[in-house]
Amino acid sequence: MSPFTGSATRTPDWRHLRLAVDDGVATVTLARPDKLNALTFGAYADLRDLLAELSRDKSVRALVLGGEGRGFCSGGDVDEIIGATLAMDTAQLLDFNRMTGQVVRAVRECPFPVIAAVHGVAAGAGAVLALAADFRIADPSAKFAFLFTRVGLSGGDMGAAYLLPRVVGLGHATRLLMLGEPVRAPEAERIGLISELTEEGKAAEAAATLARRLADGPALAYAQTKALLTAELDMPLAASVELDAATQALLMNGEDYAEFHASFTEKRPPKWQGR
């Protein structure tokens, strides 16, 4: 995302989520615990807009996405979204579905690593939000469920049919998206859906530790690695190695590459600048 801004100022308050930024680490919390953090139209829009703002903010180097209360996110609110969409025409429905996809694209395209800290339920859109993250840290209570066919819709919602086969393979993705059956933490770890399984109640702590490690590291190198992982999913090998070569040439001309050599020579830890 472009770092350049127009006349709009930074949003001081977000109505549908909580944001805290501490020394390069942004923590975004879905905060409707009484509804298992079910998403509303406003919550989707806030996530889309927040990620765009943070992407232009060079001070943010890692982001943790979590949910307050008993679970991560139960998906779209049954009354406020599913009920409301029944009264929409095709153009309105297309606008809504494009917006949910824009949230996933924002997670994948933002220039910093995103870590989903998952406990309890991650269902429907909540499961896709976690899927879109770069890392999924979960505790034993975590349960993922791609429920779209259970409500009569395609399992390929919000990019799930694109992302899930690339994370767990086509066979597992077909089962999860077609049947909508829940996947508990041990199986999710076995099939590669989660990056790390923690002790009970420790997912948020482990995600914060990883975010701190990433925020203290070479931010530009991480940003380019994330960009290449996304861009090269559909590239032939020849195009991929050419893009890798161009990226490395740019980074070799950067300050962090020179800083590594200086720190190695001087036998000290590197002082990463993200440039």
pLDDT tens digits, one per residue of 130-183? 999 999 999 999 999 999 999 999 999 999 999 999 999 999 999 999 999 999
Give residue 11's pLDDT band: very low, low, confident or very high (50, 70, 90). confident
pLDDT recorded at residue 38: 96
pLDDT recorded at residue 2: 63
pLDDT recorded at residue 211: 98
Q: pLDDT above 90 covers what percent of the chain?
A: 89
Give residue 3's pLDDT band: very low, low, confident or very high (50, 70, 90). low
C-alpha span between 18 and 13 (Å, rounded): 9
Give residue 269's pLDDT band: very low, low, confident or very high (50, 70, 90). very high
pLDDT tens digits, one per residue of 66-123? 999 999 999 999 989 988 999 999 999 999 999 999 999 999 999 999 999 999 999 9
